[in-house]
Amino acid sequence: MSDEIESLIRREYQAGFITNIESETLPPGLNEDVIRIISGKKNEPEWMLEWRLEAYRKWREMDVPQWAHLQHPPVDFDAISYYSSPKSKDDAPKSLDEVDPEILETFEKLGIPLHERAKLAGVAVDAVFDSVSIGTTYKDELAKAGVIFCSISEAVHEHPELIRKYLGSVVPQQDNFYAALNSAVFSDGSFVYIPKNTRCPMELSTYFRINELNTGQFERTLIVADEGSYVSYLEGCTAPMRDENQLHAAVVELVALGDAEIKYSTVQNWYPGDENGKGGIYNFVTKRGVCDGANSKISWTQVETGSAITWKYPSVILRGDNSIGEFYSVALTNGYQQADTGTKMIHMGKNTKSTIVSKGISAGRSQNAYRGLVRISPRAEGARNYTQCDSLLIGDQCGAHTFPYIENKNPDAILEHEATTSKVSDDQLFLCRQRGIDEEKAVSMIVNGFCKEVFKELPMEFAVEAGKLLEVSLEGAVG
Amino acid sequence: MMTPNELKQQAQQRLQQQTSLEWLSLPAKAQATFAELDMPTRKTEAWKYTPLTALLNNTYLEQTAEGAVDESAAADRVGQLGDVSRLVFVNGRLHPNLSSYSDLENQGVITLFSNANDAQRELINAELGTAFEPQQHVFAALNYGSIDEGVLIQAPTDFKVQQPIQLVYLSTSEGQSALAQSRVLVYGAAGSSLELIEQYDSLGDTNVFHNHMTEISLQANARLTHMRLQMEHESLSHVNGLHVKLADGSHYEQHALAFGSALKRNDINVNFNGSNAYCRLNGVFLSKHKQHIDNHLNLEHGVPHCNSDTVYKGFITDSSRAVFNGRIHIHKHAQKTEAHLNNKNLLLSKQAELDTKPELEIYADDVKCSHGASIGKLDDKSLFYFQSRGIDRATAEAMLCLGFVNEMVEQFPNEAVIDLARQRLAEFFNDVDKLNHLWTLE
Amino acid sequence: MSKTPLLEVKDLVAAVDGKTILNGISLTVYPGEVHAIMGPNGSGKSTLSNVLAGREDYEVVSGSVTFKGNNLFELEPEERAREGIFLAFQYPVEIPGVSNMQFLKASVDAVRKHRGLEELDAPTFMKLAREHCKELKLKPEFLKRGVNEGFSGGEKKRNEILQMALLEPSLALLDETDSGLDIDALQVAAEGVNALRNEERGLIVVTHYQRLLNYIVPDYVHVLADGKIVKSGGRELALELEEKGYSWIQ
């Protein structure tokens, strides 16, 4: 399978994508014509174009959100090209062998070189390279089970009834500034539909890779789990090192109908910028799921180690009675990274339950904030929330922050929130070193232990990857 | 209903009145600040959960409240704390007949701004308005922009003030809706110690907006025990700023009991300016009917080796609304800080709402910080324990509510204050016959 | 000995969260008798006490319980307490802010009122409470503290015995009163219980270990396994169990 996906990526990359790029280049800036061109290139039906234009008009009226604990120069939305356009042909690697050796080295360190990634047994992969879906493995097996797993562009043509029904149903076009922008210009992404009473026969995975320069990346993912179905979905992201900041504004929508369960796991390792804070991805992502039917469940697990800026709040609207929302997060920041991330749990149905476990690790000169909202509506009898936010600081130049908002309108609800802050203690370090473990390894062991509660929620292959990722990301944080 | 802008214009007129304390430098500064500020709206983060409806629906700011009062009724209300030095303010104005503080006045511990000597004027000019950031609070600017009187409480170096000082702010029903303002500056010189009781109270319905500021500056190793009872009638609106500066080794302890009202908002800022200082903030707030109560606590740990402990409990029922916001801010060099904050709430009605927002903002690594918040109903296990001992459910519920509140009240470091608080709590709980006797069983 | 049973449990089946824990228990206790119920962890010992005291989480599926000839299940927990059922909890809950004295007074007042007795005035009550404290080797300050708040394991158990002494129940259920106690604390608690033994009062002692029964000597011993009484006998059964272990029964 690894050979299959690798050759797939290679082939598309060489034969299709690169050669066509020059003719697809659009000048920077955004207006209705640009949207018409994007839609036209994808040969979209009229309703899709109208939906994009509507989003664009709303976006123009909106302001950039300022409330997050983040500092960065304003993004110049007129300087971004909204359709893939490399700086020059020479700059783009012609095969994976030509990818910047530092990137490959990073993967080697992770123990998951690109050609091995696809080895994950029993995982169907949709590879998205520079926002264009390259191809999907295991399509036939999935089709037998009635599962639809394809790129969202394909779904617009093949399954318009599902797209029209669910696209924007969880994250409306005007939900927030970045979601509106995404709705106007989204390039590609994955679409998943699990039919009634079906357990998806394998893990589904999308592997996102940003490669090109000066291009905004706007994926859109939509997962619909029909009544009584189950799916586990994995998302991995990496990007090469560029001196310029790149904008990534994705939208993920999850719909779980009655008795359905969606488990969504992310290992995000977008390029965080160099040791001086130069470059890196601006990651402004809207992820939200709705537990629409009774007894449904949505679980978000994320390990975030990348991006220069992270602005991301995977949320669950608990509309169905007895529905369950979970958020397990590890966010590690190092260097000059800034993260403002957390979740929203909106309890609307009776006996809805949510669990939030957030582990933030700050190192270097980074700033790491948890921001969360738990809201209990008057009719959410018996609602329960438990929130635990722990921060670990490594070094005295970084910051760790916790901003929970807890709003309760139901006397029958029980909510608990706890947050702690600590550092890697000298005693812990000394014990490790006395036993012959060097300091860097010791810190990484301690950090791994700190994150254990979240890692155990990840599918096995990802848990291993996540642990190694932390180790790599922490390099240079000690001493 | 006025717009926030109209409210601001009304307030502006209060500022234009001449102050008789021409030596004070703060009013001019505060007036300039006020002019630049907007009235908060729901989009202002610090006022997200605080509607200004009560202020916009009344014409409080059209006139300043008068200081007349039924003296015998007032005397009953203010005279329950026994042996104290007492200053009583009626609608923000000192009422000499109800007050008795001549001993401490003669010792120079208590001084009205209007009686301040040169040294005291200098102290007031140097200290007043420094502990807060007026740009963040339009009502503080309004208060400081229109100072016509104030109280300076000054504990001299190494002086232990034996008698507690009781400040009573009484709001009355006399006249139409009006504004009452007051302010206190407490200066604890090095090594001094002081016990201060602030009692906010009223005689019946009161159509007053009370805008109050307390500023506290504790020098090295000074100690202040500060009790605050906000027990006014629910018709009142009250915005209160408490700003504390702590120098090396100083010790500040606050115990608060507060009932909700049309609008009640408490902002507390504590600034750690010297190391080894300690701050305890204990509080319990209760709201019922359609009351509103807001608590905003902010602990600025700016230096190393300081500790703070904060515990606030909320009791919310009927159609009332309560807000808690507690922020611990550890600055970059404030290593070896230990700061903990906890907010526990009982929400008992379907029409009520509680919003809580504890915050940690931490820029130093060698610190121990935590916060916790919980919202819940009465504990089933505890109720069963009561029932299994023959106590009926209604009584069990009432006792658990009282116990929830009493856990904070019994920590007040003054027996007379505890008694007063319990008496008023019994009235609040409206269950005097059944439960009042329980307080006496200790 | 009177011929009217104090408590009569017949074919009791009870469940927690839909899971059957008691699977047909029958047990009769006459006034003056001490019954020990022993069993391994998970056998349903605590469930039986909780069902008798009326805990809501425990669902009675079938069977009957009569107490002094009346259907126990028609009574609210507080009514059972007033009628004379006392449960000494295995894990007494902590209630900060409510002083032990307030709690005891409210409880004794409620029970006395039900029995047609005068409420005790505060000084009389306090005197009585202090006397009992002394017997149980509890300091008087103990009464001022929040109910069980910060009490050691031994103090919590003695506080239960103190309440039992004040409420003078006709049937006391001791739920693992020995758990978590060292030998000295165990003796004090047992002496407290023994002082309350009389011709009228029934006692059900639930325990995992034989040890407690050296101090509170039972008339009958029942062994519970998987929600059923699998063996009944006299005092000697407990000793035999200790020697052979619960596996002997199963």
pLDDT tens digit sequence for C110-148: 899 999 998 888 889 999 999 999 988 888 888 888 889
The 3 state secondary structure assigned to A94-136 is: CCHHHCCHHHHHHHHHHCCCHHHHCCCCCEEEEEEECCEEEEE
Residue B440, chain C, CB below 8 Å: the answer is yes
The angle formed by the CA atoms of residues A171, A192 and A111, to the nearest 5 degrees, is: 100
The CB density around residue C43, as the number of other CB atoms within 10 Å, is: 25
pLDDT of residue A128: 54
Let me know: does A364 contact A474? Beta carbons within 8 Å: no
The angle formed by the CA atoms of residues A308, A311 and A312, to the nearest 5 degrees, is: 125
In a domain, B323, yes or no: no
Same domain, B142 and B11: yes
Q: Is the pLDDT of residue B17 over 90?
A: no
> Which has the closest alpha carbon to A383: A359, A407, A413, A358?
A413
Interatomic CA distance for residues B107 and A101, integer angstroms: 80
Interatomic CA distance for residues C90 and A200, integer angstroms: 47
In a domain, A320, yes or no: no
Mean pLDDT of B414-422: 94
Interatomic CA distance for residues C90 and C67, integer angstroms: 22
CA of B373: which chain A residue's CA is closest?
A417
Coil, strand, or helix at residue A259? Answer: coil
Interatomic CA distance for residues C168 and B74, integer angstroms: 49
Q: Which tokens hold the place of A140?
A: 């036939």
Q: Which tokens hold the place of C73?
A: 């299940």
In a domain, A227, yes or no: yes
Q: In terms of residue numbers, what domain contains B194?
A: 4-274
Residue B377, chain A, CB below 8 Å: the answer is yes
| Number of structural domains in chain B | 2
Q: Which of A396, A428, A446 to mutate to test the interface with B (most CBs of B within 10 A)?
A: A396
Range name among A202-211, A368-377, A442-451, B152-161 with the lowest pLDDT average: A202-211
What is the distance in angstroms between the CA of the first residue and the CA of the last residue of chain C?
34
Q: Is the pLDDT of residue C41 over 60?
A: yes
Asked if B355 lies within 8 A of A407 by C-beta distance, the reply is: yes
Same domain, B104 and B229: yes
CA of B329: which chain A residue's CA is closest?
A401
| Number of structural domains in chain A | 1
The CB density around residue B425, as the number of other CB atoms within 10 Å, is: 23
Residue B130, chain C, CB below 8 Å: the answer is no
CA of C149: which chain B residue's CA is closest?
B407
Determine the distance in angstroms separating the CA of C49 from the nearest CA of chain B, rounded to an integer: 12
In a domain, B129, yes or no: yes
CA of C141: which chain B residue's CA is closest?
B442
For residue B342, with 0-12 CB atoms within 10 Å meaning exposed, 13-18 middle and 19 or more buried, which class applies? middle
Establish how many alpha carbons lie within 13 A of residue A59's alpha carbon, considering only the half-sphere containing its beta carbon.
22
> Which has the closest alpha carbon to A92: A210, A264, A181?
A210
Quick: pLDDT tens for B386-412.
999 999 988 898 889 989 999 999 999
pLDDT of residue B64: 83
Determine the distance in angstroms separating the CA of C54 from the nearest CA of chain B, rounded to an integer: 8
Cα dihedral: A137, A142, A147, A150 (round 10): 20
pLDDT of residue A9: 28
CA distances from B3 to A18, B12, B14, B265 (A): 59, 14, 17, 20
In order of start, what are the domains of chain C with their CATH numbers? 7-248 (3.40.50.300)
**% of residues, chain C, pLDDT over 70:** 98
> Which has the closest alpha carbon to B6: B78, B89, B62?
B62
CA distances from B238 to B45, B287, B299, B344, C60 (A): 20, 14, 22, 23, 54
* B358: nearest CB among A395, A404, A410: A404
In chain A, residues with a C-beta closer than 8 Å to the C-beta of B349 are: 411
Report the run of H or E that residue C123 belongs to, with start and end: helix C122-135
Are chains C and B in contact at 3+ CB pairs closer than 8 Å?
yes
Q: In terms of residue numbers, what domain contains A143?
A: 2-312
Determine the distance in angstroms separating the CA of B309 from the nearest CA of chain A, rounded to an integer: 14
pLDDT interval class at A459 (50, 70, 90): confident
Interatomic CA distance for residues B55 and B50, integer angstroms: 11
- Total CB pairs under 8 A between chain A and B: 107
Q: Longest C-alpha distance within chain A, in Å? A: 69
pLDDT of residue A452: 85
> Which has the closest alpha carbon to C145: C88, C107, C186, C103?
C103
In a domain, A319, yes or no: no
pLDDT interval class at A395 (50, 70, 90): confident
Backbone angles phi, psi at B64, to 5 degrees: -95, 140
Interatomic CA distance for residues B288 and B354, integer angstroms: 12
* B372: nearest CB among A67, A408, A417: A417
In a domain, B366, yes or no: no
Instruction: Give me chain B's average pLDDT, please.
Output: 91
Quick: pLDDT tens for A372-383.
999 999 999 999
In chain A, residues with a C-beta closer than 8 Å to the C-beta of B376 are: 413-416
The 3 state secondary structure assigned to chain B is: CCCHHHHHHHHHHHHCCCCCCCCCCHHHHHHHHHHHCCCCCCCCHHHCCCCCHHHHHCCHHHCECCCCCCHHHHHHHHCCCCCCEEEEEECCEECHHHCECHHHHHCCCEEEHHHCCHHHHHHHHHHCCCCCCHHHCHHHHHHHCCCCCCEEEEECCCCECCCCEEEEEEECCCCCCEEEEEEEEEEECCCCEEEEEEEEEECCCCCEEEEEEEEEEECCCCEEEEEEEECCCCCCEEEEEEEEEECCCCEEEEEEEEECECEEEEEEEEEECCCCCEEEEEEEEEECCCCEEEEEEEEEECCCCCEEEEEEEEEECCCCEEEEEEEEEECCCCCCCEEEEEEEEEECCCCCEEEEEEEEEECCCCCEEEEEEEEECCCHHHHHHHHCCCCCHHHHHHHHHHHHHHHHHCCCCCHHHHHHHHHHHHHHHCCHHHHHHHHHCC
Q: Which of B311, B380, B389, B400 to mutate to test the interface with C (most CBs of C within 10 A)?
A: B389
The angle formed by the CA atoms of residues B403, B408 and B410, to the nearest 5 degrees, is: 80
In a domain, A174, yes or no: yes
* Cα B62 to chain centroid, rounded: 25
Write the ipTM.
0.86
Asked if C107 lies within 8 A of B399 by C-beta distance, the reply is: no
* B389: nearest CB among C99, C126, C163: C163
User: What's chain B's Rg over C-alpha atoms?
Assistant: 21
For residue A440, with 0-12 CB atoms within 10 Å meaning exposed, 13-18 middle and 19 or more buried, which class applies? middle
Q: Which tokens hold the place of A32?
A: 């209705």
Same domain, B393 and B247: no
Interatomic CA distance for residues A92 and A21, integer angstroms: 11
Asked if A400 lies within 8 A of B335 by C-beta distance, the reply is: no
Domain end (from B235, B251, B274): B274
Residue B43, chain A, CB below 8 Å: the answer is no
pLDDT of residue A212: 58
Let me know: does B222 contact B250? Beta carbons within 8 Å: yes
In chain B, residues with a C-beta closer than 8 Å to the C-beta of C167 are: 389-390
Parallel, antiparallel or unpaired: strands B353-362 and A399-408:
antiparallel
Residue B353, chain A, CB below 8 Å: the answer is yes
Q: What is the pTM of this model?
A: 0.85
Residue B22, chain A, CB below 8 Å: the answer is no
Interatomic CA distance for residues A391 and A69, integer angstroms: 16
Determine the distance in angstroms separating the CA of A67 from the nearest CA of chain B, rounded to an integer: 9
Mean pLDDT of B158-186: 91
CA of A362: which chain B residue's CA is closest?
B365
pLDDT of residue A92: 38
pLDDT interval class at C98 (50, 70, 90): confident
Asked if B375 lies within 8 A of A413 by C-beta distance, the reply is: yes
Q: Which of B374, B379, B401 to mutate to test the interface with A (most CBs of A within 10 A)?
A: B374
pLDDT of residue B245: 96
Q: Which tokens hold the place of A406?
A: 């807890």
Q: Which tokens hold the place of C13?
A: 């089946």
pLDDT of residue A210: 59
Which chains pack against A, by 3+ Cβ pairs within 8 A? B
Interatomic CA distance for residues A105 and A101, integer angstroms: 6
Asked if C96 lies within 8 A of B403 by C-beta distance, the reply is: yes
Those of residues 375-414 in B touching chain C at CB distance below 8 A are: 379-382, 384-393, 395-396, 399-400, 402-408, 410
pLDDT of residue B301: 97
pLDDT of residue A429: 75
pLDDT of residue A239: 59
Range name among A110-124, A252-266, A279-293, B297-311 with the lowest pLDDT average: A110-124
pLDDT of residue C105: 87
Which chains pack against C, by 3+ Cβ pairs within 8 A? B
In chain A, residues with a C-beta closer than 8 Å to the C-beta of B359 are: 401-404
In chain C, residues with a C-beta closer than 8 Å to the C-beta of B406 are: 97-98
Parallel, antiparallel or unpaired: strands A280-291 and A251-256:
parallel
Mean pLDDT of B45-60: 87
pLDDT of residue B174: 65
CA distances from A98 to A91, A92, A103, A104, A214 (A): 10, 9, 10, 9, 20
Determine the distance in angstroms separating the CA of A57 from the nearest CA of chain B, rounded to an integer: 24
Asked if B375 lies within 8 A of A421 by C-beta distance, the reply is: no
Quick: pLDDT tens for B211-232.
999 999 999 999 999 999 999 9
Same domain, B250 and B388: no
Residue B364, chain A, CB below 8 Å: the answer is yes
Same domain, B269 and B402: no
In a domain, A476, yes or no: no
Report the run of H or E that residue C244 belongs to, with start and end: helix C235-244
In chain A, residues with a C-beta closer than 8 Å to the C-beta of B365 are: 393-396, 398, 423
Mean pLDDT of B318-338: 95
In a domain, B205, yes or no: yes
In a domain, B363, yes or no: no
CA of B404: which chain C residue's CA is closest?
C97
In a domain, B360, yes or no: no
Sheet holding C7-16, edge to edge: C19-29, C7-16, C58-67, C70-71
Q: Which of B401, B441, B442 to mutate to test the interface with C (most CBs of C within 10 A)?
A: B441
Same domain, B59 and B189: yes
In a domain, B331, yes or no: no
* C101: nearest CB among B386, B399, B441: B441
pLDDT of residue B135: 55
Q: Which of A227-231, C14-18, C197-201 is the most confident on average? A: A227-231
CA of B394: which chain C residue's CA is closest?
C78
Sign of the torsion angle spanned by Cα atoms B47, B50, B53, B56: negative
In a domain, B375, yes or no: no
Residue B76, chain C, CB below 8 Å: the answer is no
Per the model's pLDDT, the better-predicted residue between A117 and B320 turns out to be: B320
* B388: nearest CB among C53, C96, C114: C53
Let me know: does A420 contact A360? Beta carbons within 8 Å: no
pLDDT interval class at B134 (50, 70, 90): low
Q: Which residues of B215-244 are buried (b: 16+ CB within 10 A; e: fewer)?
A: bbbbbbbbbbbbbbbbbbbbbbbbbbbbbb
Instruction: Give me chain C's average pLDDT, please.
Output: 89
Interatomic CA distance for residues C145 and C158, integer angstroms: 14
In a domain, A163, yes or no: yes
Q: Which tokens hold the place of B33?
A: 């600040």
Looking at residue C32, its amino acid is G
Q: Is the pLDDT of residue A95 over 60?
A: no
pLDDT of residue B133: 67
Mean pLDDT of A170-199: 93
Asked if A421 lies within 8 A of B372 by C-beta distance, the reply is: no
pLDDT of residue A368: 95
